[in-house]
Chains A and B, each alone.
Chain A
Amino acid sequence: MIVVPPAIQRIPWKLIALLSAITGFGILVLYSAAGGSFTPWAMQQTVRFLVFLTVAMVIGRFPIRIFEDFSYIAYIGVLVLLIAVELLGFVGGGSQRWLNLGFMNLQPSELMKVTIVVALARFYAQLPPGNTHSWTALWPALIIIGLPAALVMLQPDLGTALSICIGGVVVMFAAGLPFWWFGSTAIAGAAALPVLFSFLHDYQQKRVLIFLDPESDPLGAGYHISQSKIAIGSGGIGGKGFLNGSQSHLDYLPEGHTDFIFATMAEEWGLIGGLALLFAFFLLLRWGTRVALKARTRFGQLTAAGLTMTIFFYIAINLMMVMGLAPVVGIPLPLFSYGGSSMLTIMTCVGIILAIENDSKTGTRGLH
C-alpha cells in the first residue's frame, strides 16, 4: 500500500485538475491566436495561472473566520479604492478603471465583485432570523450594493456594475428575503428600463441598439458580434483545426484573445470544443453549489452561493455576448481569456469557496 501523506491528501487534486484543464485549453487557444506562438499571450497566461493557483490554494487554507472578520474592512477598503480610481485613475479605453500601482494595474471593481458577496454574507449571517422579512434586512444591503455599483457605473463599466449587483442580489435571495420583493423589483426594473437606458453613455446605448440589430452596422460597432458569429458558425461541429482559424488569424475577429476568445476557440475546435468547455464550467459551478449546500456556517453558505453566482455571471454574459445574445459589454471568459484582473478575481472566488469546503470538512456541521 502506498501511504499518501495527509498534507498531499488535503490538496484538492480534482479541483486543480479541473482549473488546469480549463486554463490549459485557454492557453492552447492563446497559442493559436498568436499565430502559433507562446508570446505574447500563452506564456504569460501560464505563469499568471500558476501564481494565482498557488494564491487560491493558500487562501483555501485560511480559516473562514478570517474572511468573516475582515469582510467589512475589506469592503470599505475596496470602496475607498473605487473612489480613488475616480479621482486618480487614468483614462483607458474610454473609461477609468485602473489604478496604477507601479508593478501592476489594479482594477478595484474586480475586487469589489468578491468583497460585496463576503460583506453581504456577513451581514445576513449576523442578522437575527426573525428579522429576515423586515425592513432592517433590506436597507443596509441596498446601501452595501448601491454604493459600489454607482461608483462603477460612473467609470463607466456597465458589465462590472451588473456583476456586482447580481452577486449581491443572489446573496440576498439565498438569505431568504421574501420572494415577492425580488419579483416586484424585477417587474419595476423592466418598466424602468427605458429610463435606465437614457442614463447610459452614448457608446453603451449604441452597443445595446446594435446588439438588437447587429446587421444594421456590420462594419461599425456591429462588427464584433457579426465577426464573432461568423467565427463560431464557420467552425461547425469539429472546427477548422488547431491553428487554422482564418477569422482570428487574419484579424477579422476583434479582441480574439480577450473578450472574444470563445469565438477563436469555437472556430478551431467547433461545437465539440464549445460543449467540452461548457461541461468543464458546469463541473466548476456544480462544485461551488455543492460547497454552498454543505457549508457548515451560514456565512459559508451565503458566500459560496454568491461567489458561484459571480463566476457564473462572467461565463454566462461572456458567452451570450459572443453568440449575439447580449450586448458587447466587455466581460472576459473566466480562466480562458487573456488577462490578469479577471483571473485574480476568479481565483480569489475559488480560494474562498475552497476555504469554506475545508471548513465544512474539518468542523462539525451545524448552524450557530
Chain B
Amino acid sequence: MPRKSPPITEAWRGITFTRRALVVGGAQAAVGVALAARMAYISVVDNDRYVLESESNRVNLTLVPPRRGWIVDRHGKALANNRVSLRIDIIPDRLHNRDFVLGQLRTLLRLDGDTMDRINRDLKAASGFQPVAVAEDMSEAEYASILVRLPEMPGIAPQRGFARNYPTGAAVGHLIGYVGAPNAEEYEKAKDPLYITPGYKIGKDGLEKYFQTMLKGKPGARRVEVTARGRVVRDLDTQPDVQGKTVHLTIDADLQEFVARRMGRESGAAVVIDCTNGDILSFVSMPSFDPNSFSDGISNSEYSWLRADDHQPLINKATRGLYPPGSTLKPMAAIAAVEHGVDPSERHTCIGGYRLGNRFFRCLGTHGSVDMPTAIMKSCNSYFYWLAHRLGYDAMAPTAKLLGLGEEFQLAGSSQRYGTIPDSAWKMKKYDQQWSASDSLNAVIGQGYVSVNPLQLAVMTARIASGRRLYPRLINREFRNEPLPFSAEALAVARQGMDLVVNGAGTAVRSRLPLDGITMAGKTGTAQVRGLGTGNGKSGTWKFRDHGLFIGFAPVVNPRYATAVVIEHGMGGARAAAPVAKDFMTFLFDREKAMEALETFEAGWGGTIQERMDRDYAAWKSGASSDPNPELPQ
C-alpha cells in the first residue's frame, strides 16, 4: 500500500475524510451498543445477585442483648435484677482517631483519670469488635451530648439497654457474684456473636457464673438501615429478646441484708441455715465488694483499694476462710464421747489445766468438779483434755466428719476450702509422724491441726440441732437428710450444754435473745492466731488478735434456725461473735426490735455499708494520690 500512492488531490482527501469519519462514527456506535448490552447484562441477567448485595449493604442485623434473668430470694424478692441504662461503648475496630475520640469523650462526659486508665487498659486487651465500655448509667443530657456528635466520632456506639442491678449491693457480693463484659478469651471459647455485642454481660463469679446458662436468655434482633459509615437511618423491624429464667434461692433477702449490716466494721462471715430442710437463709462474708461496681466495669483504683484492704473484701470467708474452730467443737466432742460410752454425768475436776506427761495444758479458768453439760457451758478445756486423752482423737474425728466438718459441699456457685479434721492416718500421710496424745488435746479444743470454714460450722450446728444429716442448699434441690446415727442422749447432752452456754451460767449469757419464750442455744469459741502462750491475743495489733467464733441455734425447743459466726481477730467468741448472732437471731423472730438495735450500732459505726464504703474509698483515694507508696489502711 505505501509506495503505489496515487496523486493525492483535494477530492481524494474529501472522499477519504468521509470514509474515515464514517469508520469513526461506526466504531462509536459499536461501542455504544456494547455499553448498552453490558448494562442490560448487569441489570437484567445479574439483577438478582446485585439486588441481594444491595440489600446486604443497606440492612444491618444487630443483636439486642437479652435481659438477664432475675435472682430472687425465697419470697421472690430480687437479689439481682435489671435496670434501664444508657451506655456508650467503643468498638475498637471502628475507632480510627483514637486520641481525638477519647479526648472528646473525656471532655463531654467529664471522665476522671481513673476511668480513662480503665478504658485504655480495656482497649489494649480488647479484640477487634469487642466493645469497651466507656460509660454506663448516663444521664439523658450526657447521652444526648454524645448522640449529636456521633458523626465526628466513628467507633462510638451508644445504646439504650439494661444493666445488672443488685439492690442490696455489698450485702450479696460474695453470694451472687457479679457480671461483666466477656473478654477475648471467653469470646474465643463461646464463638457467640452476642459476646461482642455492646452491653452484653456474662456471669463472672458466684451464682451469676454458675447459673449463666439459665440466666442469659435469648437475644433479640434489630434490622436497621445503615449508611456506609455505620450510622443507623431507621429501624426496619425488631424481634424482641427473651428474658433469662429466674433463679429462686433459699436465701432470705431481708435477713441477708441485716446480717451483712450487723457485721459492721468487722471482718468475718456468718451463715444461717434452716434446721428443717438445710436451706441456707443467709450467706454473708464481710467486708465485701459492691457487685454493682464490678458489673459496671470496676475502675483500677477501686480494685486496688479492695485488694489493699487487710480485711480482704475480695475473699468469700464463708467458704474460703479457714479458721481454727476453738471451743465451738466441744459439743461435737461431747457427742463423740457419749457415743463412745462416756457417762455425761461423770465428773472431772478442773484444776486450771490438765497434766499430760511433763506438759501442763492450761484451762481458761479453774472450774472445779464439772460434768459434761457444765463443761460445755463453762467451756472447760480441762474436761475435754481429759476426754481426748481417754478416748483419743481418732474416736472423735469420724463424728466431726459426720457433722459436716472437713466436707466439701455440692453448693451452687461456691468454691470452698474444706479445711482439716485430723486423725492419726492423716498425720502419718501428711507428716509421716505418729499421732500423739498432745495432738488429741489440741484438736479437741479446736486448735492444732484443726481448721474449718464457717459454712461447715453452720452445717454442724444445724445437724446437732436437728439430729439429721442436713445438706446445705441454695436452690431447691432434694436431699435425703437422713437421721444421724447418734443416740438421742448424745445429742441431748450437746444441746443441753449449748442451752446452758446462753441461758445458764455460760460464756454467752450476755447474748440471750431479748424475746419472750424464745431462747437460743450456742457455743462460743476463741481461736488463737498466734501459738499458745505467745501474747494474750486480747489486745495489740489487729492481725494478731484472737478470732471470735460462735455457733448457735434457736429456738432451743424444736430448733428452726442454726448459725455460725466468725469474726476475724474479734478477740473472743462471747465478745465479738455471739452478740452478732443474738441480733440476727432476734431479727428472725422480731424484726422491729432487731432493726432498732442495728440502727443504734450503725450510727456508731458511721452509717450504712454503702456510706462507709464510699467514705473509705474516698479517703483511700486521696491518701493514695498524695503518697506514691501508700501504707495499707488501718
When distances are taken between beta carbons in the complex, the residues of chain B under 8 Å from A129 are 8-10, 12-13
Do residues A251 and B229 form an inter-chain contact, with CB atoms below 8 A? yes
Interface of chain B residues 115 through 174 with chain A (CB within 8 A): none
The closest CB in chain A to the CB of B225 belongs to: A250
Interface of chain B residues 30 through 75 with chain A (CB within 8 A): 31-32, 35-36, 38-40, 42-44, 46-47, 49-51, 53-54, 57-58
When distances are taken between beta carbons in the complex, the residues of chain B under 8 Å from A325 are 35, 38
B622 within 8 A of A: no
Interface of chain A residues 109 through 140 with chain B (CB within 8 A): 129-130, 132-133
B605 within 8 A of A: no
CA distance A81 to B309 in the complex (A): 78
A179 within 8 A of B: yes
Looking at the complex, which of B18-26, B337-345, B430-438 is the stretch in contact with chain A?
A: B18-26
Give 7 A-B contacts (CB < 8 Å), ordered by A residue. A234-B51, A250-B233, A252-B227, A282-B32, A305-B24, A316-B28, A325-B35
Do residues B35 and A247 form an inter-chain contact, with CB atoms below 8 A? no
When distances are taken between beta carbons in the complex, the residues of chain B under 8 Å from A148 are none
Do residues B53 and A234 form an inter-chain contact, with CB atoms below 8 A? yes
Do residues B228 and A275 form an inter-chain contact, with CB atoms below 8 A? no
Do residues A271 and B229 form an inter-chain contact, with CB atoms below 8 A? no
CA distance A250 to B29 in the complex (A): 35
A189 within 8 A of B: no
Do residues B43 and A173 form an inter-chain contact, with CB atoms below 8 A? no
Do residues A180 and B2 form an inter-chain contact, with CB atoms below 8 A? yes
The closest CB in chain B to the CB of A181 belongs to: B2
A43 within 8 A of B: no
Given the contacts A250-B228, A285-B28, A232 and B12 also touching, CB distance less than 8 Å: no
B634 within 8 A of A: no
CA distance A130 to B10 in the complex (A): 9
When distances are taken between beta carbons in the complex, the residues of chain A under 8 Å from B58 are 246-247, 250, 252
B298 within 8 A of A: no
When distances are taken between beta carbons in the complex, the residues of chain A under 8 Å from B57 are 227, 230, 246-247, 250, 252
Q: Which residues of A contact B (CB under 8 A)?
A: 129-130, 132-133, 170, 173-176, 178-180, 227, 229-237, 246-247, 250-252, 266, 270-271, 274-275, 278, 281-282, 285-286, 289, 292-293, 298, 301-302, 305, 309, 312, 316, 319-320, 323, 325, 367
CA distance A278 to B46 in the complex (A): 20
Do residues A133 and B8 form an inter-chain contact, with CB atoms below 8 A? yes
The closest CB in chain A to the CB of B46 belongs to: A233
B7 within 8 A of A: yes
CA distance A19 to B286 in the complex (A): 85
Q: Which residues of B contact A (CB under 8 A)?
A: 1-2, 5, 7-10, 12-14, 16-18, 20-22, 24-25, 28-29, 31-32, 35-36, 38-40, 42-44, 46-47, 49-51, 53-54, 57-58, 225-229, 233
The closest CB in chain A to the CB of B14 belongs to: A367
The closest CB in chain B to the CB of A170 belongs to: B24
Given the contacts A132-B8, A250-B227, A229 and B50 also touching, CB distance less than 8 Å: yes
Given the contacts A247-B54, A278-B36, A176 and B17 also touching, CB distance less than 8 Å: yes
Given the contacts A132-B13, A233-B43, A367-B10, A323 and B38 also touching, CB distance less than 8 Å: yes
Do residues B18 and A237 form an inter-chain contact, with CB atoms below 8 A? no
Q: Which 9 A-B pairs have the closest CB atoms?
A: A233-B50, A234-B54, A176-B16, A251-B228, A234-B50, A246-B58, A250-B227, A289-B25, A233-B42
How many A-B pairs fall under 8 Å by CB? 147
CA distance A233 to B52 in the complex (A): 10
Given A231-B54, A286-B25, 4 more pairs with CB closer than 8 A: A234-B53, A247-B57, A250-B58, A319-B39
Q: B2 touches which one: A178, A286, A316, A367 (CB < 8 A)?
A: A178
Given the contacts A132-B13, A230-B57, A270 and B43 also touching, CB distance less than 8 Å: yes
Do residues B54 and A275 form an inter-chain contact, with CB atoms below 8 A? no
The closest CB in chain B to the CB of A173 belongs to: B20
CA distance A325 to B9 in the complex (A): 42
Q: A301 touches which one: B17, B22, B44, B54 (CB < 8 A)?
A: B17
CA distance A133 to B7 in the complex (A): 11
Do residues A130 and B35 form an inter-chain contact, with CB atoms below 8 A? no
Q: B50 touches which one: A230, A292, A316 (CB < 8 A)?
A: A230
The closest CB in chain A to the CB of B29 belongs to: A282
When distances are taken between beta carbons in the complex, the residues of chain B under 8 Å from A270 are 43
The closest CB in chain B to the CB of A235 belongs to: B43
CA distance A332 to B1 in the complex (A): 40
When distances are taken between beta carbons in the complex, the residues of chain B under 8 Å from A286 are 25
Closest beta carbon of chain A to B494's beta carbon, Å: 76
Do residues A323 and B42 form an inter-chain contact, with CB atoms below 8 A? yes
Given the contacts A176-B16, A178-B2, A312 and B28 also touching, CB distance less than 8 Å: yes
CA distance A129 to B48 in the complex (A): 58
When distances are taken between beta carbons in the complex, the residues of chain B under 8 Å from A281 are 32
The closest CB in chain B to the CB of A312 belongs to: B28
When distances are taken between beta carbons in the complex, the residues of chain B under 8 Å from A180 are 1-2
Do residues B14 and A278 form an inter-chain contact, with CB atoms below 8 A? no
Do residues A271 and B53 form an inter-chain contact, with CB atoms below 8 A? no
Given the contacts A237-B43, A250-B233, A282-B32, A176 and B49 also touching, CB distance less than 8 Å: no
When distances are taken between beta carbons in the complex, the residues of chain A under 8 Å from B29 are 282
Given the contacts A129-B9, A270-B43, A278-B32, A173 and B1 also touching, CB distance less than 8 Å: no
The closest CB in chain B to the CB of A253 belongs to: B228
The closest CB in chain A to the CB of B15 belongs to: A176
When distances are taken between beta carbons in the complex, the residues of chain A under 8 Å from B44 are 236-237, 271
The closest CB in chain B to the CB of A180 belongs to: B1
When distances are taken between beta carbons in the complex, the residues of chain A under 8 Å from B227 are 250-252
Do residues A236 and B47 form an inter-chain contact, with CB atoms below 8 A? yes
Closest beta carbon of chain A to B175's beta carbon, Å: 49
Given the contacts A130-B8, A323-B38, A293 and B54 also touching, CB distance less than 8 Å: no
When distances are taken between beta carbons in the complex, the residues of chain B under 8 Å from A234 are 47, 50-51, 53-54
Do residues A289 and B21 form an inter-chain contact, with CB atoms below 8 A? yes
When distances are taken between beta carbons in the complex, the residues of chain A under 8 Å from B22 are 293
CA distance A43 to B55 in the complex (A): 31
When distances are taken between beta carbons in the complex, the residues of chain B under 8 Å from A312 are 28, 31
Given the contacts A133-B8, A285-B28, A178 and B1 also touching, CB distance less than 8 Å: yes
When distances are taken between beta carbons in the complex, the residues of chain A under 8 Å from B50 are 229-230, 232-234
CA distance A105 to B9 in the complex (A): 46
The closest CB in chain A to the CB of B57 belongs to: A252
Do residues B7 and A130 form an inter-chain contact, with CB atoms below 8 A? yes
CA distance A282 to B18 in the complex (A): 19
Which of B2, B17, B57, B58: most chain A Cβ within 10 A?
A: B17
When distances are taken between beta carbons in the complex, the residues of chain B under 8 Å from A130 are 7-8
CA distance A179 to B43 in the complex (A): 39
When distances are taken between beta carbons in the complex, the residues of chain A under 8 Å from B233 are 250
CA distance A293 to B12 in the complex (A): 15
Closest beta carbon of chain A to B52's beta carbon, Å: 8
CA distance A231 to B28 in the complex (A): 25
When distances are taken between beta carbons in the complex, the residues of chain B under 8 Å from A251 are 227-229
CA distance A178 to B5 in the complex (A): 10
Q: B42 touches which one: A178, A229, A302 (CB < 8 A)?
A: A229
Q: A266 touches which one: B9, B16, B18, B43 (CB < 8 A)?
A: B43
The closest CB in chain A to the CB of B9 belongs to: A129
Given the contacts A229-B42, A323-B42, A275 and B8 also touching, CB distance less than 8 Å: no
Closest beta carbon of chain B to A258's beta carbon, Å: 17
CA distance A257 to B524 in the complex (A): 86
When distances are taken between beta carbons in the complex, the residues of chain A under 8 Å from B226 are 250
When distances are taken between beta carbons in the complex, the residues of chain B under 8 Å from A176 are 8, 12-13, 16-17, 20
When distances are taken between beta carbons in the complex, the residues of chain A under 8 Å from B2 are 133, 178, 180
Q: A233 touches which one: B7, B16, B25, B49 (CB < 8 A)?
A: B49
CA distance A266 to B39 in the complex (A): 9
The closest CB in chain A to the CB of B33 belongs to: A278
When distances are taken between beta carbons in the complex, the residues of chain A under 8 Å from B47 are 233-234, 236-237
When distances are taken between beta carbons in the complex, the residues of chain B under 8 Å from A271 are 39-40, 43-44
When distances are taken between beta carbons in the complex, the residues of chain A under 8 Å from B13 are 129, 132, 175-176, 298, 367
CA distance A366 to B46 in the complex (A): 52
CA distance A240 to B53 in the complex (A): 14
Q: B43 touches which one: A246, A274, A292 (CB < 8 A)?
A: A274
